[in-house]
Structure 1
Amino acid sequence: MSTPRSGWFRSRRFAVAAGLTAALAALVATLLTMPLNASLASADGSQITGLAGKCVDVAEANNANGTPVQLYDCNGTPAQQWTIGTDGTIRALGKCLDVVDFGTGDGSAVQLWDCAGSANQQWVVSSANDIVNPAANKCLDVRDNNTANSTRLQIWTCAGTANQKWTAPAAGGGGNGGTGGGNGGGTPSGFVVSEDQFNQMFPGRNPFYTYSGLTTALAAYPGFATTGSDTVKRQEAAAFLANVSHETGGLVHVVEQNTANYPSYCDTSQSYGCPAGNDKYYGRGVVQLSWNFNYKAAGDALGIDLLHNPDLVQNDASIAWATGLWYWNSQSGPGTMTPHDAMVNSAGFGQTIRSINGALECDGHNPAQVQNRVDSYQHFAQILGVDPGANVAC
Structure 2
Amino acid sequence: MRSRVLGLVTAAVSTAALLTLAAPASAEKAAKSESPATTASGKAAAAFVVSESQFNQMFPNRNSFYTYGGLTAALGAYPGFAQTGSDTVRKQEAAAFLANVSHETGGLVHVVEQNTANYPHYCDRAQPYGCPAGHDKYYGRGPIQLSWNFNYKAAGDALGIDLLNNPDLVQKDSAVAWKTGLWYWNTQKGPGTMTPHDAMVDGRGFGETIRSINGSLECNGGNPGQVQSRIDKYKQFTQALGVTPGNNLSC
Normalised by the size of structure 2, how large is the TM-score? 0.87
Question: Does residue 1:248 correspond to 2:105, yes or no?
Answer: yes
Conserved? CA contact 1:244–1:287, under 8 Å: yes
Conserved? CA contact 1:348–1:391, under 8 Å: yes
Partner of 2:58: 201
Cα separation, 2, equivalents of 1:259 and 1:189: 39
State the SS of the aligned residue for 1:279.
coil
Q: Which runs of 5+ in 1 are unaligned?
A: 16-31, 40-126, 129-178, 182-187
Cα offset, 1:14, TM superposition = 5.4
Cα separation, 2, equivalents of 1:215 and 1:6: 27
Question: Does residue 1:348 correspond to 2:211, yes or no?
Answer: no
Q: Which has the higher strand share?
A: 1
Cα separation, 1, equivalents of 2:202 and 2:141: 30
CA deviation string 1:286-312 (max 9, x = no partner):
011111000000000000000000000
Cα separation, 1, equivalents of 2:46 and 2:102: 21
Cα offset, 1:7, TM superposition = 4.7
Partner of 2:214: 357
The 5 A counterparts of 1:75-224 are 127=40, 180-181=43-44, 189-224=46-81
Cα separation, 2, equivalents of 1:360 and 1:330: 20
Q: Which has the higher contact order (CA 8 A, sep 6+)?
A: 2
Cα separation, 1, equivalents of 2:58 and 2:198: 24
Cα offset, 1:8, TM superposition = 4.4
Cα separation, 1, equivalents of 2:210 and 2:35: 35
The 5 A counterparts of 1:262-301 are 262-301=119-158
Question: Does residue 1:370 correspond to 2:227, yes or no?
Answer: yes
Partner of 1:13: 8
Cα offset, 1:232, TM superposition = 0.2
Conserved? CA contact 2:133–2:167, under 8 Å: yes
Runs of 4+ in structure 1 over 6 Å off: none
Question: Does residue 1:326 correspond to 2:188, yes or no?
Answer: no
Q: CA distance change for structure 1 residues 33 and 291 in 2, over 3 Å: closer, same or farther?
A: farther
Cα separation, 1, equivalents of 2:95 and 2:166: 30
Conserved? CA contact 1:267–1:293, under 8 Å: yes
CA deviation string 1:332-380 (max 9, x = no partner):
1111110000000100000000111111100111000000000000000
% identical aligned pairs: 71
Q: Which runs of 5+ in 2 are unaligned?
A: 11-33
Cα offset, 1:33, TM superposition = 5.8
State the SS of the aligned residue for 1:180.
helix
Conserved? CA contact 2:91–2:241, under 8 Å: yes
What is the number of equivalent residue pairs in this alignment?
Answer: 228
Cα offset, 1:257, TM superposition = 1.0
Cα offset, 1:239, TM superposition = 0.1
Partner of 2:86: 229
1:13 corresponds to which letter in structure 2?
Answer: L
Question: Does residue 1:386 correspond to 2:243, yes or no?
Answer: yes
Conserved? CA contact 1:361–1:370, under 8 Å: yes
Cα offset, 1:260, TM superposition = 1.2
Cα offset, 1:34, TM superposition = 2.4
Cα separation, 1, equivalents of 2:88 and 2:35: 32
Cα separation, 2, equivalents of 1:228 and 1:297: 28
**Superposed CA RMSD:** 2.0
Partner of 1:34: 36
Partner of 1:100: none
Cα separation, 1, equivalents of 2:140 and 2:192: 21
Partner of 2:26: none
Cα separation, 2, equivalents of 1:259 and 1:286: 18
Conserved? CA contact 2:4–2:217, under 8 Å: no
Conserved? CA contact 1:256–1:284, under 8 Å: yes
Cα separation, 1, equivalents of 2:73 and 2:4: 23
Cα separation, 1, equivalents of 2:209 and 2:5: 12
Cα separation, 2, equivalents of 1:33 and 1:218: 16
State the SS of the aligned residue for 1:327.
helix
Q: CA distance change for structure 1 residues 215 and 272 in 2, over 3 Å: closer, same or farther?
A: same
Question: Does residue 1:303 correspond to 2:183, yes or no?
Answer: no
Normalised by the size of structure 1, how large is the TM-score? 0.56
Conserved? CA contact 2:4–2:214, under 8 Å: no
